[in-house]
A and B are shown apart, each in its own frame.
Chain A
Amino acid sequence: MFQDYFAQSDHLIWPVIGLLIFVLLFVGVLAYVFLGLRDKDKVNEIAALPLSEDSATDDHLNNPSLADGRAP
């Protein structure tokens, strides 16, 4: 049967490799965010990037009613 044919494939190692790569990289990402990202000021600055434009954008200056970021 073809299902057996595939089940006995030499290529079945690839899913395991893929899983292994994922686990390694996932651990790496976790290590980075918990240990590498220690500069709180920098993190806060990036997290607030969408808000930083408000001070520079003149649509709020032209339309004070929109300055709270929501439709009135």
Chain B
Amino acid sequence: MEATLSDNTQMKTVVYDDSIVRAFSIVTIIWGVVAFLVGVIIASQLSFWQANFGLEWLSFGRLRPLHTNAAIFAFVGNGMFAGIYYSTQRLLKVRMANDMLSWANFWGWQLVIVLAAVTYPLGLTQSKEYAELIWPVDLLVVVVWVIFAVNFFWTLAIRNEKNLYVAIWFYISTIVTIAVLYIVNNLQLPTSLLHSYPIYGGVQDALVQWWYGHNAVAFFLTTPPLGLMYYFMIKAAQRPVYSYRLSVVHFWSLIFLYIWAGPHHLLYTALPDWAQTLGMIFSVMLWAPSWGGMLNGLLTLRGAWDKLRTDPVIKFFVVAVTFYGMSTFEGPLLSIKSVSALGHYTDWIIGHVHGGALGWNGFMTFGILYWMWPRLYGTKLYSTKLAELHFWIATIGILLYVVSMWVSGVSQGLFWRAMDAEGFLKYPDFIEAITNSVMMYHTRLLGGTLFLLSSFLLAYNMIMTARQGKPSTVTVQVPARRPAGDGESAWALLTSAPMLFITGILVLAIWFGLAGSMMSPVVLALLIVVFVAAIISYGLYQNRWGHWYGLVERHALVFTILALVAILIGGAVEIIPTIIQSNKVPLEITEEMIAEDPSLAETAKWLQKPYSPLELAGRDIYVSEGCFLCHSQMIRPFRHEVLRYGDYSRLEESLLDHPFQWGSKRTGLDLARVGGKYDNLWHYLHLMDPRSTSPASNMPTYTHFKTGTVDPAVMTGRMRALRKLGTPYSDEDIALAEQRFMSQGQLISDYLADKDVDIRPDSKMAAMIAYLQRLGRGPQPVAAVPDETALEQ
């Protein structure tokens, strides 16, 4: 529908699609309650181990991924979609390009969430943090994300506003980066419809996983809410953004720096030192853009601070941005190696994550919902007082949560490293750190419960607001405008002087990396020349340069390409060298190889040997149960860790682990060298009832390991898959897999029978015991009388 104004400007009538915004808003609230509820359940399990009611599908290891995924992808994710669909249409002055795609995005995303809610409690998981979904669901995620991307970029193409506002930049970076991260991290080799092995192993898997894991935080939990902040805070405060210039610096430096920071999750592990240091440096550098963005948000409220007293929306936004500032201060702080030495594996990290996810993302989402919902129903908010009550209860709840985790985290770090005057562990019994934390666990449970209860107030307020209004349809008259007119073609932009200089600098920088010692000074000189030429060109043609970026901001395709290049640089620089080098590492070292290169003798000493079929079955159960969520398998090179757990972990000890299980939290002991530390009976008793061997333990019982069985035939296929990924299984290993599986199981079964314990040789218990006894040791006997094959192995 078009009309003509008196000044001959073509006017278009645009009807925004707010039905999709309403749908995403509703599920945001529903899934938010679910995420908080599951969080309270698993928090209660840490306080009271009985809280899983003896049900395997309610155990901590299975529910924890459900909690994190529900909070991140269901609560924040749906809130993100609601905010993006609402603000994008208004910022671009156009309806979303295709309603069918919008609804496919909605229903597809809900299907992903439902499948996650079903598969995780069943133990179907990849056990990679925030990437636990099994491969068929991963494919669905990719399809849904592509649908969202197509709809979004199509909308950009048909927009009626030529300028791309800063919020849109953040949405673009989110869409392209999440696509890259998700696909690269989830490359895997399926062994069945419900199981797969990641193509990466050991250190490769660790680096790729935390490159993904950290940037899931960056580009799912940070850039979308920042984009939403740049829209909804401005709407709520009725003030333009404090500094547009700062938002330009904020955006580009944030997306460029964030992508490098992943290795700070692996400090003091077996990751190469250079990668650790790189992750630490870029994490510290993130302080600047993060705080720049925070200040830009808070200062947008200049002149509107009086609203803080009366407007719950502003209250939620201010606390959200404050938590953003706190989290982005704490993150770089924890990335400093000496601080990480204390804080890593402790509850401090859990507190940090919740400050970001619930304090920053949660409050931002609440604020957006309170602002948007009455408008979606053409009415007033049902009760401002209830919103105020929600705000205060949630604030007290999150503060109780975060502070208690800080206290218990720092305490745990200090407990673990405390030494006596003789240089030995002051608290050699690990459980002391847990018993010391119990009060803090109770406090966390209280804080989480308050947060959950407060969300019911939101739900009630939203229901009553909707009941007093009716779904509104927003119709606007906007000037019709084609964004790519006026000779601003993509080609003209791509061949403009600034773009050519940027390309030249990138190409020369890469050439410098590839050039040998003879050529590198020449390339470096060229690099300097091009840089100086760029400065001169800028001096001569300032207006054109200034105009150029303005054009980039209006040209979605060029802007997207530049954003993609920015995020690819960091990932490529860290991951490609590690993958190339890792692929050169021999997974088998023979005497002949050592004779040629004597330095390989030390490597051969630590080089991991393939798991036996039963051990592999045990490892798959370990992965399925999410044991790594409480038990690390990575002993850091500190005296207190070596004294407690054994020799520090070497990189070559986990090269064959698909996925790696280094872990990121120690509610229980590190298990890297638990093999041989206790006998089979101890493990049996401990798994059946952890209190029988560790009286103060809060670990769940795993009685179903005794009754559950593993089909040995399955292991043959899984070993074949691992061989394709590089594990040196011989044809004989695979041919004899079932036989060795059963004979090793029989050994464990016979051992326990002597202790009056009856288990089947093909039980999950036998497999888990075999795996745990293998950790930190070489191959174990697979038959009562070791045959020639076993000896060769």
Given A14-B513, A21-B509, A56-B477, A26 and B253 contact (CB-CB distance below 8 Å): yes
**CA A7 to CA B341, docked complex, whole Å:** 21
Q: What are the residues of chain A within 8 A of B379 when measuring CB–CB?
A: 63
Contact A15 B278 (CB under 8 A): yes
Q: Which residue of A lies closest to B510 (CB)?
A: A17
Q: What are the residues of chain B within 8 A of A68 when measuring CB–CB?
A: 238
Q: What are the residues of chain A within 8 A of B505 when measuring CB–CB?
A: 21, 24
Q: What are the residues of chain A within 8 A of B163 when measuring CB–CB?
A: 45-46, 49
Contact B235 A50 (CB under 8 A): yes
Q: What are the residues of chain B within 8 A of A51 when measuring CB–CB?
A: 234-235, 238, 240
Contact A33 B238 (CB under 8 A): no
- Contact indicator per residue, chain B 82-100, by CB within 8 Å of chain A (1) or not (0): 0000010011010000000
A residues 23-37 in Cβ contact with B at 8 Å: 24-26, 28-37
B residues 355-381 in Cβ contact with A at 8 Å: 370-371, 374-375, 378-381
Contact B249 A29 (CB under 8 A): yes
Interface presence of B580 (CB below 8 A): yes
**CA A26 to CA B651, docked complex, whole Å:** 35
Interface presence of B110 (CB below 8 A): no
Residue in B311, B512, B546 whose Cβ sees the most chain A Cβ within 10 Å: B546
Residue in A22, A39, A45 whose Cβ sees the most chain B Cβ within 10 Å: A22
A residues 1-57 in Cβ contact with B at 8 Å: 1-3, 5-7, 9, 11-15, 17-18, 20-22, 24-26, 28-39, 42-51, 53, 56-57
Interface presence of B531 (CB below 8 A): yes
Interface presence of B753 (CB below 8 A): no
Q: How far is the CB of B96 from chain A (nearest CB, A)?
A: 15
Q: What are the residues of chain B within 8 A of A6 when measuring CB–CB?
A: 272-275, 578, 581, 651
**CA A13 to CA B517, docked complex, whole Å:** 12
Contact A3 B90 (CB under 8 A): no
Q: What are the residues of chain A within 8 A of B602 when measuring CB–CB?
A: 1
Contact A18 B585 (CB under 8 A): no
**CA A36 to CA B248, docked complex, whole Å:** 12
Q: What are the residues of chain B within 8 A of A5 when measuring CB–CB?
A: 581, 585, 603
Stretch among B414-422, B568-576, B768-776 lining the A interface: B568-576
Contact A32 B545 (CB under 8 A): yes
Q: Interface on chain A toward B: helix, strand, loop, or mixed SS?
A: helix
Given A24-B531, A50-B90, A69 and B238 contact (CB-CB distance below 8 Å): yes
Contact A49 B165 (CB under 8 A): yes
Contact B472 A14 (CB under 8 A): no
Q: What are the residues of chain B within 8 A of A30 when measuring CB–CB?
A: 249
Q: How far is the CB of B158 from chain A (nearest CB, A)?
A: 17
Q: Which residue of A lies closest to B90 (CB)?
A: A53
Q: How far is the CB of A61 from chain B (nearest CB, A)?
A: 10
Q: What are the residues of chain B within 8 A of A36 when measuring CB–CB?
A: 542, 545-546, 549
Contact A25 B274 (CB under 8 A): no
Contact B272 A1 (CB under 8 A): no
Q: What are the residues of chain A within 8 A of B478 when measuring CB–CB?
A: 56
Given A32-B545, A32-B549, A34-B245, A9 and B91 contact (CB-CB distance below 8 Å): no
Contact B256 A71 (CB under 8 A): no
Interface presence of B252 (CB below 8 A): yes
Contact A2 B651 (CB under 8 A): yes
**CA A38 to CA B566, docked complex, whole Å:** 25
- Contact indicator per residue, chain B 229-244, by CB within 8 Å of chain A (1) or not (0): 0110011111011011
Contact A49 B476 (CB under 8 A): no
- Contact indicator per residue, chain B 596-611, by CB within 8 Å of chain A (1) or not (0): 0000001100000000
Given A11-B577, A57-B90, A22 and B257 contact (CB-CB distance below 8 Å): yes
Q: What are the residues of chain B within 8 A of A57 when measuring CB–CB?
A: 90, 474, 476
Given A33-B249, A44-B240, A48-B240, A3 and B272 contact (CB-CB distance below 8 Å): yes
Q: How far is the CB of A58 from chain B (nearest CB, A)?
A: 6
Q: Which residue of A lies closest to B16 (CB)?
A: A57
**CA A44 to CA B362, docked complex, whole Å:** 30
Q: What are the residues of chain B within 8 A of A9 when measuring CB–CB?
A: 272, 274, 577, 581
Can you list 28 A-B contacts with CB-CB less than 8 angstroms, sorted by A residue number?
A: A1-B602, A2-B585, A2-B652, A3-B273, A5-B585, A6-B651, A9-B577, A13-B513, A17-B573, A18-B573, A21-B505, A22-B256, A25-B502, A26-B252, A29-B253, A32-B549, A37-B546, A46-B165, A47-B243, A47-B244, A49-B163, A50-B91, A50-B165, A62-B472, A70-B236, A70-B311, A71-B370, A71-B380
**8 A-B pairs with least C-beta separation:** A11-B577, A36-B546, A6-B272, A48-B240, A33-B245, A18-B573, A71-B381, A47-B244
- Residue numbers of B with Cβ under 8 A of A are 87, 90-91, 93, 161, 163, 165, 167, 230-231, 234-238, 240-241, 243-246, 248-249, 252-253, 256-257, 260, 270, 272-275, 278, 307, 311-314, 370-371, 374-375, 378-381, 384, 387, 472, 474-478, 502, 505-506, 509-510, 512-513, 531, 534, 538, 542, 545-546, 549-550, 566, 569-570, 572-574, 576-578, 580-581, 585, 602-603, 650-652
- Residue numbers of A with Cβ under 8 A of B are 1-3, 5-7, 9, 11-15, 17-18, 20-22, 24-26, 28-39, 42-51, 53, 56-59, 62-63, 65-66, 68-72
